Chains A and B, each alone.
Chain A
Amino acid sequence: MHEIDIVTLSRLQFALTALYHFLFVPLTLGLSILLAIMETVYVMTGRTIWRDMVKFWGTLFGINFAMGVATGITMEFQFGTNWAYYSHYVGDVFGVPLAIEGLMAFFLEGTFVGLFFFGWDRLSKRAHMVVTWLVAIGSNLSALWILVANAWMQNPVGTIFNPQTMRMEVSSFFDVLFNPVAQAKFVHTVSAGYVTGAMFMLSIGAYYLLRGKHTEIARRSITVAASFGLASALSVVVLGDESGYTAGQDQKMKIAAIESMWETEPAPASFTLIGIPDAKAQTTHYAVQIPWALGLIATRSINLPVEGIKDLVAKAEGRIRHGLIAYRSLAKMQGKPGVTLPPDAQAAVSDLGYALLLKGIRPDIENATDADIHAAAMSTIPNVGVLFWGFRLMVALGFYFIALFAVAFYLSSWRRLDRKWFLRAAMLSLPLPWVAAELGWIVAEYGRQPWIIDGVLPTSLGVSDVPASNVLLSLAGFVLFYSTLAAVDLYLMIKYVRLGPDGQSTPSVLQVPAGAD
């Protein structure tokens, strides 16, 4: 029987559980801030309609939040269950932001979210508002720390390989923390979350206006969503550009693949607006290019070239050969305490990860032939088609969001929210931020392949050596379990949207005020 590939199964499970978890995270990020803003308006104006809005959107927030918490647990432990060698190899670095995320963010969010729902009658107006802000801050801080961890996978700074423990260890926590990729990713990701939260309120508000129901709450919700959404959508695109710049510096292969740019472009590089990537022929057909644009985005200059895939593969070959020096030296000293590497091997350790790419081709990599090395270098090319199209669709959606929120902002400012065409468009746009967010994940993480840590550890080496049947079982379990939960979540969301804000006083709604003593 054909043996099931543990690496593929583990990657599938990670992708499935991460993409699924990421359906709930952006809405939590955005809606928590929006709740805090609306409650601040309530405290400042004293008008109870704003409190009713917080409670109504809070009920929907609660349904989503439970799902986010539930699916997040899997993520914290999956590194250990399915990626044991990765955990050993980089836990010294990667574990730190995860632990700080727990200390600084999860406790804040988890402890105060209970008070958000149960504390209405037990806290003063102001105290409750502070609680809501703390939930929002906790959510957003957790995004910061997980992206510090993720940014290190994309751009592994501030660490060195320790041959005595056979793993990466922190050399400068400052560098890990202030990784430029982390800064760009954080702002880009939370802004995407804000767009999601704003779209959620805009679309459901538009649905109510079309039905002529709950118009007071719907109008105000749209007004808040429009201004917040417009600012956030602008931020996503502008800071997505910042991501492009940092990827241009640190992940040349990813940006070349996104551009389907096979040859190095002389400065200033042009940006391929659209075309048809052909990985076999290593070219892009029917490319429509904008002169200078990529050079400006990726290098912030007009005199630096942007490297193409073919040149990057040639460079990778050199790094594989260099890394083999370190690998051979390490193989000799393993198991002997207190030995240090000779200087030539020490210098080659930074390319050790490239040598490890050969493990995907043959186990005895010290005997690799030129053909093996070329094959390993070719494996550094990610899936160009997926990245090229995924990126373009995401960016197109980003510009669409700016346009939609700009129209919403204009119409709500001039009190013309009765335009049916706009309300229909707003309602139908509801799923789009999720599409964009998932595409963003795919471009960033699928685009990192074949690396689990860019240039340091190939994905195929990161897995646990557990029986493939176990992973198949857990994967099947997650598919079944998550599908059921998705159905329940959608059912409840639709039910509570249909009930609307007035549903607050029907017997089936809950978790609004808890009783005073």
Chain B
Amino acid sequence: MELIDYTVLRLIWWALLGILLIGFAIMDGFDFGIAMLQPFVARNDVERRVLLNVVGPVWEGNQVWFILGGGAIFAAWPTLYAVSFSGFYLAMFLILLALIVRPVAISFRGKVDNERWRRIWDWAFVVSGFVPSLIFGVAFGNLLLGVPFHFDQTMRLTYEGNLFGLLNPFALLCGLVSLAMITMQGGTFLAVKSEDPIAGRAAKMTSAAAIAYVLLFTIAGIWVAYGISGYVVDAPVTDGPSNPLLKAVTRADGAWLANYSAHPLSALAPVAAYLGALGTLLFARRRAALAAFISSSLTVAGTICTAGFSLFPFLLPSSSSPQSSLTVWDASSSPTTLFIMLVAAVIFVPIILAYTSWVFHVMRGPVTAERVKSASHDLY
């Protein structure tokens, strides 16, 4: 079954993990972003309905990026799945509540013609975009800091932290980076799919978010360089069994920047994040909506790659027992499983991209206020 070297398989799945996260942040990100922007860009029932009808036909497909992310981490990185979701127990619970209320808010809001009913679901919709955007960012911040957990010899996991431990200043800063980035996604997509005055307001919000992003991302970068010590695996074995306890790990200042000097090309990730944000700002001001959306998506990809490249080969470092840290080389599935999953991904991902594109093509064109008004009983 060893058609591909174990090391290579692990690298491929590390890359696929990144692609899944990027797919999720780009696609579901614009749904979250539009939800967060609702109080700022929609001023009456018709305008709020325009927003719902922008996300209406596509959010369910977008959300599958998140579900698939969970399934793929379970299958390819089972230890990471076990540690991250049980460790971030209450944070995950909050995300789940937000994601449970979202489908209901979108499809139930218009089902009753009553002002109070609609306002309740409107707020549920806004919260359902805000909470995951913030918490995912906070989670990424904690990855860079390391979280307190250790394994015993039977690989039983003990997590020593709590929810409030996750809410530290650096992680909250990363949460703000995420909020700014997701707002850009939402604002740029909304500008593509709506008309003035909504599109104009969305473009304004996008510009503000892009400026905020550049500032926050820069502060976070400086903080990582000077304020956080990273982790280093001593003498890594890349094709050994997936048992984190078989390695030694030390902490070192500036270790999260080591990959950029060792592999200068990886610096393209933060560069892409900056260029994307500047492009978003520029195109949003010029009202080139599609170009702004593409730029914003580039920022998403660049940001997630920056975090991934900084951490590599770590997936989730342990601050209390560095040896227990999860890395690409010791938290994966067996070679057989990684290979089966790779075959499945190679077959299905192109098919998924093809039919998703087709659906966006069918639903192309802006959602207009006139259309929503005249078809008041047809749309959300």
Residue positions of A touching B, CB distance < 8 A: 62-63, 66-67, 69-74, 76-77, 79-82, 84-85, 87-96, 98-104, 106-108, 110-115, 117-119, 122-123, 162, 164-167, 169-171, 173, 334-335, 337, 464-467, 470, 473-474, 477, 481, 485, 488, 492, 495-496, 504-515, 517
How far, in whole Å, are A467 and B156 apart by their CA atoms in the complex? 15
> Do B103 and A70 touch across chains, with their CB atoms under 8 A apart?
yes
B165 in the interface, Cβ–Cβ < 8 Å? no
Q: Is the CB of B78 within 8 A of A103?
A: no
- Are B363 and A92 in touch, CB under 8 angstroms? no
B377 touches A507 (CB 8 A): yes
Additional pairs, 19, CB under 8 Å, beyond known A80-B84, A114-B59, A167-B78: A82-B86, A87-B74, A95-B337, A96-B341, A102-B67, A103-B344, A108-B355, A111-B61, A111-B64, A169-B336, A170-B334, A337-B240, A465-B86, A465-B158, A467-B162, A492-B108, A495-B111, A495-B112, A509-B111
Per DSSP, chain A at the interface is helix
Q: Which 6 pairs across A and B sit closest by C-beta, in order of nearness?
A: A91-B78, A80-B85, A95-B75, A95-B74, A111-B61, A102-B68
CB atoms of B154 and A166 under 8 A apart: yes
Q: Which of B99, B111, B153 contacts A335 (CB 8 A)?
A: B153
Chain B residues in 8 Å Cβ range of A84: 82-83, 85-86, 157
Chain A residues, Cβ within 8 Å of B79: 88, 91
Please state if A91 and B81 are interface contacts (CB–CB under 8 Å): yes
Chain A residues contacting B97 (CB-CB under 8 Å) are 477, 481
B164 to chain A, nearest CB (A): 12
Chain B residue numbers with a CB within 8 Å of A117 are: 56-57
B72 at the interface (CB under 8 A from A): yes
B356 within 8 A of A: yes
B340's partner among A96, A119, A511, A515 (CB-CB below 8 A) is A96
Indicate if the CB atoms of B89 and A466 lie closer than 8 Å: yes
A510 close to B81 (CB less than 8 A)? no
Q: Which of A67, A76, A170, A464 contacts B336 (CB 8 A)?
A: A170
Give A492's nearest chain B residue, CB to CB.
B111
Does B159 reach chain A (CB closer than 8 Å)? yes
B336 near A102 (CB under 8 angstroms)? no
Q: Provided the pairs A91-B81, A92-B78, A96-B340 are in contact, do residues A118 and B57 lie with their beta carbons within 8 angstroms?
A: yes
Name 28 interchain pairs, CB-CB below 8 A, sorted by A.
A74-B100, A77-B92, A79-B85, A80-B74, A81-B85, A84-B83, A87-B81, A90-B78, A91-B74, A92-B334, A93-B337, A95-B73, A100-B348, A101-B71, A102-B71, A103-B352, A106-B67, A107-B61, A111-B355, A112-B359, A114-B56, A115-B359, A119-B57, A337-B243, A465-B157, A496-B111, A507-B376, A508-B111
**Least Cβ distance of A320 to chain B in Å?**
18
Q: How far is the CA of A40 from the CA of B92 in the complex (A)?
A: 42
Cβ contacts under 8 Å, B352 to chain A = 103, 107, 111
> Given A102-B68, A492-B108, is A118 in contact with B363 using a C-beta cutoff of 8 Å?
yes
Let me know if B242 and A165 touch, CB within 8 A. yes
Task: Give Cα A386–Cα B380 distance, bound, in whole angstroms.
Answer: 45
Taking CB atoms and an 8 Å cut-off, the chain B residues in 218-264 that contact chain A are 240-243, 245-246
* CB pair A73 B67 closer than 8 Å: yes
| A110 lies within 8 A of B53 (CB) | no
In the bound complex, residues from chain B placing their C-beta under 8 Å from that of A513 are 375, 378
A301 to B68, CA, bound (A): 44
Question: In the bound complex, do residue B103 and residue A95 qualify as a contact, i.e. CB atoms below 8 Å apart?
Answer: no
- Chain B 124-166 interface mask (CB, 8 Å, partner A; 1/0): 0000000000000000000000000000011111110010000
B-to-A contact residues, CB < 8 Å: 53, 56-61, 63-64, 66-68, 70-76, 78-79, 81-86, 89-90, 92-93, 96-97, 99-104, 106-108, 110-113, 153-159, 162, 240-243, 245-246, 333-334, 336-337, 340-341, 344-345, 348-349, 352, 355-356, 359, 362-365, 371, 374-380
Given contacts A81-B86, A111-B359, contact A76 B70 (CB under 8 A): yes
Q: Specify the chain A residue showing the minimal Cβ separation from B360.
A: A111
Q: Is the CB of B110 within 8 A of A511?
A: yes
Report chain A residues within 8 Å CB of B104. Answer: 66-67, 70, 485, 488
Q: Which residues of chain A are near B113, meaning CB under 8 Å?
A: 507-508
Beta-carbon contact of B56 and A511 below 8 Å? yes
Please determine whether B159 and A465 come into contact, CB atoms closer than 8 angstroms.
yes
Question: Which of A70, A82, A335, A467 has the most CB atoms of chain B within a 10 A radius of its CB?
Answer: A70
**How far is A514 from B157 in the complex, measured between Cα atoms in Å?**
50
Q: In the complex the two chains form, what is the Cα distance from A102 to B100 in whole Å?
A: 18
Q: How far is the CB of B135 from chain A (nearest CB, A)?
A: 13
CA distance A63 to B356 in the complex (A): 23
Residue of B nearest to A98 (CB): B71
A114 touches B359 (CB 8 A): yes
Give the complex CA separation of A77 and B356 in angstroms: 24
- In the complex, the answer to whether A66 meets B107 with C-beta atoms within 8 Å is yes
Residue in chain A with minimal CB distance to B368: A515
Contacts of A171 in B (CB 8 A): 336
A95 touches B333 (CB 8 A): yes
A499 to chain B, nearest CB (A): 10
Q: Tell me the minimal C-beta distance from B377 to chain A in angstroms.
A: 5
Q: Which of A67, A81, A82, A113 counts the most chain B CB atoms within 10 A?
A: A81
Query: Would B74 and A79 count as touching, CB distance under 8 A?
Result: yes
Which chain A residues border B58 with CB–CB below 8 Å? 111, 114
Question: Per a CB cutoff under 8 Å, which of A99, A107, A465 touches B75?
Answer: A99
Residue contact B103 to A66, C-beta cutoff 8 Å: yes
Q: How far does the Cβ of B366 sit from chain A's closest Cβ, in whole Å?
A: 9
- Give the chain B neighbours of A112 by CB distance below 8 A: 61, 355, 359
CB distance from B280 to the nearest CB of A (A): 26
In the complex, chain A residues whose CB is within 8 Å of the CB of B159: 465-466
CB pair A73–B99 under 8 Å, yes or no, is yes
Query: Do B67 and A170 touch across chains, with their CB atoms under 8 A apart?
Result: no
The reply to whether A100 and B344 contact each other, CB–CB distance below 8 Å, is yes
User: A69 to B68, alpha carbons, bound, how many Å?
Assistant: 13
Q: Which residues in B have their C-beta under 8 angstroms from that of A473?
A: 90, 93
Point out the residues of chain B lying under 8 angstroms from A511, CB to CB: 56, 107, 110, 378-380
Indicate whether A76 sits within 8 Å of B362 (C-beta atoms), given known contacts A66-B104, A70-B104, A91-B74: no
Q: Is A63's CB under 8 angstroms from B93's CB?
A: no
- Assuming the contacts A334-B154, A511-B378, asked whether A96 and B83 have C-beta atoms less than 8 A apart, the reply is no
Candidates B60, B61, B82, B111; contact of A88 at CB < 8 Å: B82
The answer on a CB contact under 8 Å between B67 and A87 is no
Residue from A122, A167, A473, A517 with most neighbouring chain B CB atoms (10 Å): A167
Which residues of the partner chain A approach B333 to less than 8 Å between Cβ atoms? 91-92, 95, 169
B375–A515 touching, CB < 8 Å: yes
Chain B residues closer than 8 Å to A337, beta-carbon distance: 240-241, 243, 246
* CB nearest to A111 among chain B residues: B61
A80-B82, A107-B68, A507-B377 given; A63·B92 CB < 8 A: no
A110-B96 Cα distance, complex, nearest whole Å: 18
CA distance A167 to B246 in the complex (A): 15
Instruction: For A115, list chain B residues within 8 Å (CB).
Output: 57, 359, 362-363
What residue of chain B has the Cβ atom nearest to residue A176's Cβ? B340
Partner of B379, one of A85, A89, A514: A514
Q: Are A80 and B81 interface neighbours, CB within 8 A?
A: yes
Shortest distance between the CB of A465 and any CB in chain B (Å): 5
Given the known inter-chain contacts A95-B333, A106-B64, please indicate yes or no for A69 contacting B103, CB distance below 8 A: yes
B245 to A514, Cβ gap below 8 A? no
* B residues in contact with A90, CB < 8 Å: 78
In whole Å, how far is B316's beta carbon from the nearest beta carbon of chain A? 13
Chain B residues within an 8 Å CB radius of A100: 71, 341, 344, 348
